[in-house]
Amino acid sequence: MVIKSRSQRPEWLTRLRPFGEAQRGKAIWQLVNTLVPYALLWVGMIATVASRMAWMWTALLVVPTAGFLVRIFIIFHDCCHGSFFASKHANRFWGYVTGVLTLTPFEDWRHAHLTHHATAGDLDRRGTGDVVTKTVAEYRALSPLKRIGYRLYRNPLVMFGLGPVGIFVLSHRTAPPGATPDARRSVVVTNVVLVGIAAVAALAGGLWIYLVLQLAVSWLAGVLGIWLFYVQHQFETVYWARHDTWDRVRAALEGSSFYRLPRVLQWFSGNIGFHHIHHLRPSVPNYRLQACYEAVPEVRRGAELSLRSSLRCLGLALWDEERGRLVTFRGVRPA
């Protein structure tokens, strides 16, 4: 059934509402237990390089540093939804701060991501804030050159190898065409602060050290972040529908997976594995998602992925409208 009015929505949706109330104490503690270790790890990386210790130790420190940067991005993500703090000003301030750390302009990314939430699973409104996904019919209609381009885009080595640099290092440095004044301003502010940080590093004689470490940490965190976003919307039974039959609740429950991760990975990823709940109620901050999952049985349905089963999502690339499934390129012949 297509839900056209609030009265037609399932009754249990109202039970998610209390979890959408931000808790300042938990938010502040999350900032402390994320930003402080992140800063200390940066000190450790710089110390190992400056003292000419083996680069192996520096490389080892890059891994947990990237893990904390993923967690910082989740805080940034919540600030974009206005859910991390109850205060709009606090969300905006910390959104800009965490945006600088993740090389991501706050207002610009916020606009694209909110568009993603409004259009997820809608075949007629694809293209903003999501992974480009073509239907089988659209792929067959492409020219040979464009088919090659799409296959390259969907290739894991390109998406997860080059994608982090293309998105976080390059793409986020400019505002897209038609961006709002706030979005453009956030790009400028973020870039100016990043240039300032690089200038301080240069004055301290460590510009190249900073650039290499920043690139390494941002790349690895980007690989992990893109994977999390990819796997939670790119699985075989994902929900897609044409706009006239699109259902917001189904798009959230069936179009976003529950990624059941080991506790330590769940912590570093800021509970983003409860992605279906996040799409149902974006106002629920990350630190309340698990409590919401445990309290509302109705959200415990839909696609559930484990680390092992999620690997099968890698080859999926095309939406088969006839079968209602994401499929691989195998067996799909051009028209």
Percent of the chain with pLDDT over 90: 86
* Res. 210: pLDDT tops 50: yes
Predicted TM-score of the model (pTM)? 0.93
On the CB side of 147, how many CA atoms lie within 13 Å of its CA? Answer: 14
What's the pLDDT at 264? 97
Helix (H) or strand (E) holding 135: strand 134-135
Mean pLDDT of the chain: 93
* Res. 70: pLDDT tops 50: yes
What's the pLDDT at 301? 81
Tell me if 246 sits within 8 A of 240, measured CB to CB. Answer: no
* Res. 9: pLDDT tops 80: no
* Res. 324: pLDDT tops 50: yes
Please give the Cα distance from 318 to 267 (Å, whole number).
32
Kindly give, in sequence order, each residue whose CB lies less than 8 Å from that of residue 76, ignoring residues fewer than 6 positions away: 94, 95, 98, 99, 101, 102, 104, 106, 109
- Write the pLDDT tens digit of every residue in 76-116: 999 999 999 999 999 999 999 999 999 999 999 999 999 99
* Res. 333: pLDDT tops 80: no
Total number of residues shown for the chain = 335
**β-sheet bridge partners, residue 319:** 135, 326
Q: Give all strands (DSSP E) within 209-327, no chain letters.
A: 258-259, 304-305, 318-320, 325-327
Question: Cα angle vertex 57, ends 269, 206, to 5°?
Answer: 90
CA nearest to 172, candidates 241, 235, 99, 226: 99
What's the pLDDT at 92? 98
Question: Cα angle vertex 11, ends 6, 13, to 5°?
Answer: 80
Residue 335: band (very low, low, confident or very high) from pLDDT cuts 50, 70, 90: low
Give the start-to-end residue ranges of the domains of the chain: 18-132+157-306
Mean pLDDT of 14-35: 96
Residue 52: band (very low, low, confident or very high) from pLDDT cuts 50, 70, 90: low
- 3-class DSSP state for residue 126? coil
What's the pLDDT at 7? 40
- Write the pLDDT tens digit of every residue in 156-191: 999 999 999 999 999 999 999 989 999 999 999 999
Which amino acid is located at 147 in the chain?
R
Kindly give, in sequence order, each residue whose CB lies less than 8 Å from that of residue 180, ignoring residues fewer than 6 positions away: 107, 111
Which amino acid is located at 100 in the chain?
V
What's the pLDDT at 76? 98
Mean pLDDT of 22-26: 97
